[in-house]
Chain A
Amino acid sequence: MGKERKGVEVSIAIAEAVAQANVDVIAAYPITPQTHIVEHLADIVANGELDAEFVPVDSEHSAMSVCCGSAAVGARTFTSTSSQGLALMSEIFFIAAAMRLPIVMALANRSLSSPLSIWNDHSDVMMVRDAGWIHVFVENGQESYDNMFCAFRMAEDPNVMLPVAVNLDGFILTHMIEPMEYEDDELIKQYLPDFKMKNVLHPDKPVSMGCFGMPEIYTETQMNREVGVRDSYPHILKAWQEWGKLTGRYYKPIETYRADDAECCIVTMGSYGETAMEVVDALREEGEKVGVVKIRLWRPFPFEEFDKAVLGKKTLIVIDRAISFGGPGGPVASELRSALYKKEGAPTIVNYIAGLAGRDVSRKDFRNIIIEGMKKAASGDTDGFTLYALRG
């Protein structure tokens, strides 16, 4: 849009976005690598640039609890965490979605203990796959900034009413200085209407939230939720469409790069997509028909869009950033295998697990994965998974 771009640390940009969104309550507990987001928000509030309650909670469990209380009274609510923090708050994380409380979280993906690791992988978000939150993955700084606004818009949409996690790779994104185009407050005001919730806690119209469910009724509550999540899909797309119309930057649940005529595609989620694109360009120069399929919307999973992108292709090399012990290997690969089960034209899936706890996966590594992966596919060696660059 011909705007000035400046170099901003992604965490800072996220904090600025949250401030521009005029949140009412921020409740967060510090954990590497999310700290800069929360620190900058504290600064913004302390300088009177954002009128909000900054609640420095005693634990991540309390952070999500405060967020639930805040969303329940109809306040625009934000939090951020990673790894162990997400694990600690996981009890309430599930409850927030069940109670349909529109909270927005910047989830700085970080590896789960043990061993303790502060570095990036997706084991934290995979732990909460079934919680019922909307999960968006971003790949660079601009996407991180943009999707904070889209997240509020999606979460608070009366046809959605679900909490939204914007997943960004810890350190790889949070601590990087990236070229950023900020939007002005007028545009944000246009994009984000005031938050109005149907049922709020207020003496003028009392309600009871969180009643307990006997076996006779519990199943029905779960169906009600599942339909709610599924039915939110078109509204998620609409939120991205509207953002695109205003800014020129459109986001889609599945995004592809040079995949149309590709026989083999590498599938990524998060920041790996960028490196994958560069490697695909290089391989294309060498005559390899390869492409990238990027999953941006993890939940609710975009089954149709995914089919459109991959059916008819020979091979998918799925890069997982987490492992399910004693299970089918990488969570993404196993979900994609299941999504493609018995579909006509379903590609073969080869699963690599790479970059656990922030181990660097360079362009050379991507190249190796693609070449090796194609060989494995050709020889039928597609069961299970390969832990890339394992010593021993």
Chain B
Amino acid sequence: MDRFSVFSARLVEKAENFTSGHRACQGCAEALAVRLVLKALGRDTIVAMSTGCMEIISSPLPLTSWKVPWIHNAFENSAAVISGCESGVKAMIRKGKIPPKKINFVAMGGDGATADIGIGALSGALERGHDMVYVCYDNEAYMNTGIQRSSSTPFGASTTTSPAGKVSIGQHTQKKNMAAIAVAHNIPYVATACSSFPFDLMEKVKRASEMPGPAYVHILSVCPTGWRIQPNEAIKYGRLAVDSCVFPLYEVVYGKYQLSYQPQRIIPVKEYLSGQGRFRHLTDKDIEQIQLSVNTDYQKIVKLSEEV
């Protein structure tokens, strides 16, 4: 089955473990990503989630959108919390305190929770080798608190704490490469995905959960509110991000890079950037600079994929 075709929607798991009634913005591709991730994992899943958009919109006491066991504890520690769940269940099964059962242990956090405040806990969890999946929902800023920059905000993006101004281009650093950091921990599986490519995403999450040991999945989650695009364009911009090679889709299996998708026609980054309000201040020169770095970074992944 071609992972990038959407015409096999009828084969997808029907059960909704992330129910309607959640309070995500209209057109939130991150909520879509959560929905798809749960379809891939099924109901035998325990989720530990960081504070952030998804946590807030899905759990206003006394209501919850979650039909799988779910715990929110704090912002920076979902990787540590899930390590505890995994360790506890593992010990109890081994000691005969509870019956054996294959459970997916999944930590979920945004880019801020993953790349900034929670990077220590994530690194620890990956190093300790827990049988878990860490899913990072990357909407490229601290969206829940009002669009502040994170280390995952791309170069040139305007956020409230890296605003474009008379003497500033907005974010002046390059996006932190969390996938590479995860790979550096020598874990069995790392992947990038985007909710605009739902089948690819679901396959990767399923594969991540089946790999023994830690797995890391980085999902580009388009945020119409924060990126300043129309709500109905969330899927379109995810495709543009991938087709312009700004966000390449790949897997790294036991250290071996595998490109999942090479666009037949690579779109110029200008097409990706120009429709987004957060980039509207960029000059042609800025966009050229971005195009160069996108090309370089993409070629690095291509080269790594070609290595035997």
A residues adjacent to B (C-beta < 8 A): 22, 24-25, 27, 51-53, 55-59, 61-62, 65-75, 77, 91-92, 95, 99, 194, 201-203, 206-214, 217, 221
Contact yes or no, B128 A209, CB < 8 A: no
Q: How far is the CB of B45 from chain A (nearest CB, A)?
A: 7
- 17 other A-B residue contacts (CB within 8 Å) besides A24-B97, A62-B124, A203-B69: A22-B95, A24-B91, A25-B87, A57-B124, A59-B124, A61-B76, A69-B88, A73-B46, A73-B89, A75-B97, A91-B74, A95-B74, A203-B103, A206-B43, A212-B60, A214-B61, A217-B61
A353 to B213, CA, bound (A): 51
Contact yes or no, B55 A212, CB < 8 A: yes
Contact yes or no, B121 A59, CB < 8 A: yes
Contact residue among A67, A213, A214 (Cβ-Cβ distance under 8 Å from B84): A67
Sample of 5 A–B contacts (CB below 8 Å)? A24-B92, A58-B120, A59-B124, A75-B97, A208-B66
Q: Is B271 an interface residue (CB 8 A)?
A: no
B residues adjacent to A (C-beta < 8 A): 43-46, 48, 55-56, 59-64, 66-74, 76-77, 80-92, 94-95, 97-98, 101, 103, 120-121, 123-124, 127-128
Contact yes or no, A211 B72, CB < 8 A: yes
A201 to B70, CA, bound (A): 7
The 9 closest A-B pairs by CB, nearest first: A69-B84, A58-B124, A75-B88, A65-B80, A210-B72, A66-B84, A65-B77, A70-B88, A211-B59
Q: How far is the CB of A24 from chain B (nearest CB, A)?
A: 4
Q: CB-nearest residue of chain A relative to B99?
A: A204
Contact residue among B64, B68, B81, B88 (Cβ-Cβ distance under 8 Å from A24): B88
A109 to B228, CA, bound (A): 52
| Residues of chain A contacted by B90 (CB below 8 angstroms) | 53
Contact yes or no, B70 A57, CB < 8 A: no
Contact yes or no, A25 B121, CB < 8 A: no
| Residues of chain A contacted by B98 (CB below 8 angstroms) | 74, 202
Contact yes or no, A74 B77, CB < 8 A: no
| Residues of chain A contacted by B124 (CB below 8 angstroms) | 57-59, 62
A95 to B127, CA, bound (A): 25
A228 to B67, CA, bound (A): 28
Contact yes or no, A65 B87, CB < 8 A: no
If A66-B81, A70-B85 touch, whether A210 touches B71 (CB-CB below 8 Å) is yes
Q: CB-nearest residue of chain A relative to B88?
A: A75
Contact yes or no, B88 A73, CB < 8 A: yes
| Residues of chain A contacted by B72 (CB below 8 angstroms) | 209-212
Q: How far is the CB of B113 from chain A (nearest CB, A)?
A: 12
Contact yes or no, B66 A201, CB < 8 A: no
If A53-B88, A73-B89 touch, whether A194 touches B83 (CB-CB below 8 Å) is no
Q: How far is the CB of A220 from chain B (nearest CB, A)?
A: 9
A68 to B121, CA, bound (A): 14
A277 to B123, CA, bound (A): 50
| Residues of chain B contacted by A67 (CB below 8 angstroms) | 84
Contact residue among A22, A194, A203 (Cβ-Cβ distance under 8 Å from B68): A203
Q: How far is the CB of A112 from chain B (nearest CB, A)?
A: 21
Contact residue among B85, B103, B123 (Cβ-Cβ distance under 8 Å from A72): B85
| Residues of chain A contacted by B89 (CB below 8 angstroms) | 73, 75
Contact yes or no, A211 B64, CB < 8 A: yes
Q: How far is the CB of B16 from chain A (nearest CB, A)?
A: 14
Q: How far is the CB of B105 from chain A (nearest CB, A)?
A: 9
Contact yes or no, A74 B92, CB < 8 A: yes
| Residues of chain B contacted by A74 (CB below 8 angstroms) | 88, 92, 98
| Residues of chain B contacted by A65 (CB below 8 angstroms) | 73-74, 77, 80-81, 83-84, 121
Contact residue among B55, B84, B85, B94 (Cβ-Cβ distance under 8 Å from A51): B94
Q: How far is the CB of B123 from chain A (nearest CB, A)?
A: 7
| Residues of chain A contacted by B81 (CB below 8 angstroms) | 65-66, 68-69, 72
